[in-house]
Structure 1
Amino acid sequence: QTYLYNARCRCHPNVRFGTVLRGHGDTPGRPADAIESARLSLRVYDAAALQSGREERAARAAAARLPIAQQMASIAAFGSSNEVRVISYGLYGANTRYTIGVIRNAELAPVVYPGWKMRVYHDRSVPDEVLSTLRSLSVELVDMQARRGMRGGIGGMFWRFLVAADESVDRFIVRDSDSRLNPRESLAVEAWIQSGAKIHSLRDHPNHDRPLNGGMWGGTKGAVPDMAKLVRGWSNRERYMGDLDFLNQQVWPRPSVQESQISHDAYSCKKYPNAHPFPTRRPADYQHVGQVFFGDGRPRQGDIDDFMLNVKSPRKCRGDKSWTSG
């Protein structure tokens, strides 16, 4: 018995009517989804064509691994630093997209960011076994349960910004639990360190077109010293994308930030000051900094299929003119 599976809607197509293709979900309780039927095409492949396709994919994967290995060798060769450097996360609830994600990042951090500490701001809605696993991976845990004016829920996404107000931290980066640390971002962060700028921003997807993205920026000690006060005074902490509004209304406009910032930008570099191409070519699988992953490790493929496959990076945003995807 064979089933068709559509990666765009993550569903099994079963009804086509008019211009719409309906499908049932692949997760219990997940509602049906739909795409335009014109986007569905069926092709028949013989055994030879299938084998050829497998060999081609294997060759592409092998070719992609070599640059990644070279990048990891460069990262391993970074010199030691006397700075206290922290990768900051916020975590609340039991959704495996975030709990498994933050654990995976804790495993990646020593390799992708040698010499950096990982810190997770959390409340008691996070399962004990998740916190225990993070402790075993040498993650610093900051319990926000009793912090006045720092409610949890979706407002917990603001906790990770508090690292900017910690005077014991010399340099920090803020990341999303449902993304994965990778060599591409690490080498961009190293370029920021060498630049001497106070603030760093990453934009690696067409939808990252804003000065600062919630889990793709960093700073140095004193860059935003009043961060805790700013967070407490922000009234929209419980609103979806409120963290983006906060950063781009409260942090980005500051003269001290504008005068000392650098960004790495694969698509909108012409729009923002002191924006540079990423120092590495995008992997063959279109992996991008800030890419979202589900709890089972699958990437959110729609972010690639719908926005990146047919969009070329502007020439100015490429480290080399042949890097058409940035």
Structure 2
Amino acid sequence: MFTGTKGDSKRRRIIVREAGHDVIQREVDAVKHWIMSGKQLHSMRDSVLHSRPFNSRLWGCIAPCEIQGSPIVEVVKDFLEKHQAHVRTDEWFGSTVMLPYFTWNNDKLTHDSLFCMDWQDSLPFPTERNGIEFAGQPSLSWYGGNEELAMKMHRGEWLCSSSPYRCRGSSSWRRG
């Protein structure tokens, strides 16, 4: 849970991230942009792996973030109790619960560096990519501490993926 401000009123926010992934400055800047927008919901797509309309590993909402009258914390708890946690539970929850909520809610801000042409309601990230970093990238520990493997995976993901012009915050950026 994160407490941010918009104007004079304090608002609590729920920010969801994949465990074991780094939080980089680009992501912090995007969250600040969301907070300043005053929008209820926020999501990010910043990788070739983030091609779904809703990325279950990079999103947030102003608390209590109610879905059909229930706070999101209770919705998650009920979902996990009903379906048991297993690999890719986050994706299943994202596609069955959060995607419909995001789709029908117009009070959202989505940052997108690659798929903005597919999902028209998205905006470019407020800051340019720093080298091969991307929002939601796995940390070194994700790769068992193998720095060479981590760099290989990150480089491999971005070698061929320059952003469409519409997904860039500036015409001088190569990647959104």
Task: Name the TM-score, length of structure 1 as normaliser.
Answer: 0.45
- The C-alpha deviation readout for 1:122-162, integer Å capped at 9, x for no partner, is xxxxxxxxxxxxxxxxxxxxxxxxxxxxxxxxxxxxxxxxx
Identity %: 27
Shift of the alpha carbon at 1:230? 4.8
Are the equivalent residues in 1 in contact too, given 2:102–2:108 (CA < 8 A)? no
Aligned twin of 1:239: 86
Letter aligned with residue 63 of structure 2: K
Measured after TM superposition, the shift of residue 250 of structure 1 is 0.7
Deviations 1:151-179 (A, max 9, x none): xxxxxxxxxxxxxxxxxxx2121122311
Question: CA 1:277–1:245 in structure 2 vs 1: closer, same or farther (change >3 Å)?
Answer: same
DSSP 3-state at the match of 1:83: strand
CA deviation vs aligned residue, 1:48-85 (integer Å, no higher than 9, x gap)? xxxxxxxxxxxxxxxxxxxxxxxxxxxxxx9997636x
- Residue from 110, 115, 121 that aligns with 1:268: 115
2:31 aligned with 1:83: no
Match of 1:187 among 2, 9, 29: 29
| Contact kept? 2:113, 2:125, Cα under 8 Å | yes
1:175/1:216 contact within 8 Å kept: yes
Q: Which residue of 1 aligns with 2:158?
A: 308
Q: Aligned pair count?
A: 163
Secondary structure, counterpart of 1:200 in structure 2: strand
Could you tell me how far 1:271 is from its partner in structure 2? 1.8
Q: Post-superposition shift, 1:200?
A: 0.3
Larger Rg: 1
- Equivalent residue of 2:20, what SS? coil
Give the whole-Å Cα distance in 2 for the aligned partners of 1:256 and 1:316.
21
2:175 paired residue number? 325
Give the unaligned 5+ runs of structure 2: none
SS of residue matched to 1:245:
helix
Amino acid at match of 1:311: S
Rounded to whole Å, the distance in 2 between the matches of 1:218 and 1:305 is 28
Structure 1: distance between partners of 2:103 and 2:134: 29
TM-score, normalisation: structure 2:
0.79
Cα 1:179–1:271 change in 2 (3 A) is same
Q: Deviations over 1:18-76 (max 9, x none)?
A: xxxxxxxxxxxxxxxxxxxxxxxxxxxxxxxxxxxxxxxxxxxxxxxxxxxxxxxxxxx
Asked if the contact 2:6–2:38 (Cα under 8 Å) also holds between the matched residues in 1, the reply is: no
